[in-house]
Structure 1
Amino acid sequence: MEAPAANFATVNARRRKLPTGHLTLREKTVIHNVHQNIVKDFPDIGATEQKKKTASYTGFSLSTIYTLLGEVHSTGHVSPAKKAKHEERIILDDHANYLIRKTVHDFFFKQIPPTIDAVHEETKLNSEIPKMGRSKLHKVLKELQFRFKRRGRNGLLIDRPEITVWRAKFLREIEKFRSEERKIFYLDETWINEGHTKTKIWVDESKKSARQAFIEGFSTGLKDPCGKGKRLIILHIGSDEGFVDGGLLIFEGSKGGDYHQEMNATVFETWFAKILKTLPNNAVIVLDNASYHSRKVEKISTTSWRKGDIQNWLASKNIAFESAMLKAELLMLVKQHKHTFERYAVDELAVQEGKTVLRLPPYHCELNPIELIWAQIKNEVASKNITFKLRDVKPLFQEAVEHVTDENWKKCIEHSKKIENEMRRIGENFGTVPELIISLQDSSSDTSTESDSDKENFD
C-alpha cells in the first residue's frame, strides 16, 4: 500500500492546498477509499491518526481530508466535483438599457434624488435587467450618456444638454407629424443567439447526481445550451398596421461583441432603398443613429485633416477665413458651419421617395415601439428553442414574426406615446432643458474631499 500511495502523493502534490470543491470525483473517491483501507488496516491508532495517514498516503492536506470525510459523513456518498463558476460578460440590449434609464427617471417622477446605490437596488428587483455590480451599473450609466458634474459638494450625473435638446425636438416633430396624420413607421435591428432560451425553469433539486436520477428512473432535467453560440442579425420595419410585407432581413452573424458591428451602410442602404418604394407617400420613418444609418453624403473636416485640406474645404463652401489662422481656429469655423452641410445618405434616399426620416435621440430606444415587439418575438423563440441550433432558431424567429398582430403593434405604439407624454411632463416641470440628476456618492456618505468628488472612482 505504501508504494502506490507515494506515487499518488507525488502526482497530486501540486493540489495539496486546493479546497475540496476543486477536487475531481476520481480524486475524492481515491481519498475516501484510501481512508477506508487505513481504518480497516489500523483500527487501533485512533481517528485522528487514521486521517493523518490518509493525508500522508494521498498527498493532500489534513484539512482537505477532514473536509472531504465530513462531506461524505453528512451526505452518505462522495459528491461530484463542483463546476467552476465563470463570470459571464454582461451585454445589455436596448431594452435592458431602456429599463435602466426608466429606473432612474422613476426617481425623478417621485422627486427623489437617486443615488447609485438606490438605482442599483431597484435594478436588482427587476428580473428583466441582467444582474450586475455597482461599478458595472456606473459604467452603463455613463454609456447611456449621463455625464459627471459638480454640484456643490456632491458629484452628479446629468443628461448632456445636446441630448436633452435633441429629445425635445424629437417630441415636437413626432407630435407634429401625427397631427398631420402622416403614416409613421418604426425601424430597428436586433439579434438572437442560437442558445437563446428561458433563463428560469423548474428544476428538481432533490436529485443530487445523474447517477441517482438514473437509478431512480428520473431524468437529469432540461438540457442547457453550451453558451450563447452563433447568432442571427435581424432588420425589420412596421407600423400600427403590423410589419411591412417583405421587410424582414435576416442573416447569420460572424462576429462577437456588439451586433451593430455586423451591419454596414451598404447592406442597410440597399435594403432601405428597396423598402422605401413599398411605403406610402409622405411616410415618416423613425430610426436610431447607428453608424450604418448615418453615412454622410459628404465628408466634413475633422481634427485628423491637414490644415491645407481644411482650408480647401472652407473655400469650397465659400466660408471666409484668414490664411494666418491656426488649425484650431479653422476647425472652429468648420464647427460653426458644418450643420449646414451635414447630409445623411439615408435621409437623402427618403427625400427622393417623398418620405421623411425622423431620428431618435441617442440612447432613447424606449421611444421606438419595435423594441417591445422584439421582446415579444424573442420570448416566443425562447419558449420553443429546444435544439439550440441556428438552423432551427431561424424558422422559429420567422414564425414568431408571423404571430405578431396589428393589435400587438398598436399596444406597443400606445406605450411609447405614454413615455413621450411623461418626457413632455418632465420638460414642463423642470424647464425647457430638464436637468436629470443622479448623486454618485454613496448614500451613507455625507462628506468627500475635493479630489474625491472630482474622481469617478467606484471600485
Structure 2
Amino acid sequence: MAARARYFAKINELRSNGTLIFWQNETWRNQNEEKTFIWTDRDTGAGRLRQSTGKGMISSFSKMACDCFLSTWKRLAISALMGPSGFHASSIDIFECNEDHNMNSAHFLTWIDRTTSLLRKELGKISLLSFSLLFLGLEKGTKIILVIDNATWHSRLTNDTTPPKRAWRKEAVIRWLKSNNIVVPEKAVKAELLEIALDNLPPKKYQIDEAAKKYNVGILR
C-alpha cells in the first residue's frame, strides 16, 4: 500500500509539472486468434466482436486435437506505448515469439534504447544538466517519463549492482567483494562472505533505466 501511495503521488507530481507521460505494456496474439470480447472506441463504437459458435463442454479428444493445432501456430509479441495522443505508432514493436518466451531482457533493452532515442528526437533535445534540474523543478523543458511495470525483463540490474548469488563459488564472491571495495576477512567461509556482501549491496541500477538516461528519459515503476 505504501509503494502504491508513493507511485500515485509521483504520477500527480509529474502531471502537475507538465511531464509527458507514456505508459508501456506488452501483450501477445496467436495467429488467427480472436477475442470473444474487446475494447471499443467510446466515441465511434469502432471495434470487432467475434460471436461464439457452439455450446457445451469440448471433448477431451477435441481439446487434444485443438492444442496440437495451436502448437503449430505462430505467436506475435507486441510492445507499445500509450501517450497523451494515443498510441505512439513509430515505437510499436511486433515480433515472433513462442508460448514460453514472449519477451526477454535483451530484446526489451534494445527496444528501450531505440524508443527513448526516438522520443527524444521527436520531442526535442535537452541537456543532461537541464534534465537533472527538471527533476528538481528548477528548469522548464520537455520532460519525458515512461511508466512500466516490474516484469522480470524490465528489472535486470546492471552488472556492477547485481548482488552475488548463493550458487556462486567462494572465489566469485571474493571477486565481487573486492570489486566493490569491501574488505575480505581472512579464513571467512563462503556463507560469511555472502552475509558481508548482502549487508553492503550497492544501490540498485536497472539496465533499462541507464539506457533511457542516455537520452534524458526517465523510468517510473
Q: Taking structure 1 as the reference length, what is the TM-score of the superposition?
A: 0.34
CA RMSD between the two structures? 2.7
2:211 to 322, 330, 349: 349
Per-residue Cα deviation, 1:18-37 (whole angstroms, up to 9, x for no partner) = xxxxxxxxxxxxxxxxxxxx
Sequence identity, in percent? 31
Code of the aligned partner of 2:205: R
In 2, Cα distance between the equivalents of 1:263 and 1:203?
A: 33
5+ residue gaps in structure 1? 1-163, 206-225, 360-459
1:336 aligns to 2:199 (yes or no) = yes
Deviates more, 1:313-322 or 1:300-309: 313-322
Please, which of 155, 175, 178 is the counterpart of residue 12 of structure 2?
175
- Counterpart residue identity of residue 170, structure 2: K
Relative contact order higher in (CA < 8 Å, ≥ 6 apart): 2
Which of 93, 115, 118 aligns to 1:249? It is 93
Aligned amino acid, residue 83 of structure 2 = S
Show the counterpart of 1:327: 190
One of 306, 316, 328 as aligned partner of 2:179:
316
* Cα contact 2:24–2:80 (8 A) shared by 1: yes
Aligned position for 2:83: 239
Q: Which SS does the other structure have where 2:200 is aligned?
A: helix
- Assess if the C-alpha contact under 8 Å between 2:36 and 2:51 holds in 1: yes
Which residue does 1:449 correspond to in 2? none
1:431 match: none
Aligned residues of 2:163 and 2:198 also touching (Cα < 8 A): no
Match of 1:303, SS? coil
**After the TM superposition, which residues 169-318 of structure 1 pair with which residues of structure 2 at under 5 Å, given as runs?**
169-193=6-30, 194-198=32-36, 201=51, 226=66, 228=70, 229-253=73-97, 255-257=98-100, 261-279=101-119, 280=123, 281-298=142-159, 299-318=162-181
Residues 284/334 of structure 1: CA separation in 2 closer, same or farther (3 Å cut): same
What's the counterpart of residue 21 of structure 1?
none
Q: How many angstroms apart in 2 are the aligned matches of 1:339 and 1:173? A: 24
Q: CA deviation at 1:315?
A: 1.9
SS of the counterpart of 1:277? helix
Counterparts in 2 of 1:204 and 1:336: CA distance versus 1, 3 Å:
closer
Cα 1:262–1:197 change in 2 (3 A) is closer
- CA 1:358/1:339 → structure 2, altered by over 3 Å: closer, same or farther? farther
**Could you tell me how far 1:285 is from its partner in structure 2?**
0.6
> What residue is the counterpart of 2:60 in the other structure?
none
Change (3 A) 1:329 1:247: same
**Which entry has the higher C-alpha Rg, 1 or 2?**
1
TM-score, length-scaled by structure 2 = 0.66
Superposition deviation, residue 204 in structure 1: 8.5
Tell me, in whole angstroms, the C-alpha distance in 1 between the residues paired with 2:199 and 2:170: 17
- Given the superposition, is the C-alpha separation of residues 320 and 175 from structure 1 closer, same or farther in structure 2, using an over 3 Å criterion? farther
Counting helix residues as a fraction of each chain, which structure ranks higher?
1
Cα 1:337–1:181 shift into 2, 3 Å: farther
- Where does structure 2 lack aligned partners over 5 or more consecutive residues? 38-49, 56-65, 124-141
1:432 matched residue in structure 2: none
Count of equivalent residues = 172
Tell me: CA distance 1:336–1:245, structure 2 relative to 1, closer, same or farther (3 Å). Answer: same
The one-letter amino acid paired with 1:186 is: W
Shift in CA distance, 337/179, structure 1 to aligned 2, threshold 3 Å: farther
SS at match of 1:338: coil
3-state SS of paired residue (1:233): strand
Residue identity opposite 1:256 in structure 2: E
Change (3 A) 1:314 1:165: farther
* CA distance, structure 1, for counterparts of residue 177 and residue 35 of structure 2: 55
**Alignment partner of 1:285: what SS?**
strand
Q: Please state how far the C-alpha of 1:355 moved relative to its aligned partner.
A: 1.2
* Cα deviations by residue, 1:89-112 (Å, 9 ceiling, x for unpaired): xxxxxxxxxxxxxxxxxxxxxxxx
Equivalent AA in structure 2 for residue 345 of structure 1: Q
2 CA distance for matches of 1:289 and 1:330?
A: 29
CA 1:329–1:170: 2 relative to 1, 3 Å: farther
| CA–CA separation in structure 1 for the residues paired with 2:197 and 2:173 | 8
The Cα of 1:356 is off from its aligned counterpart by 0.8
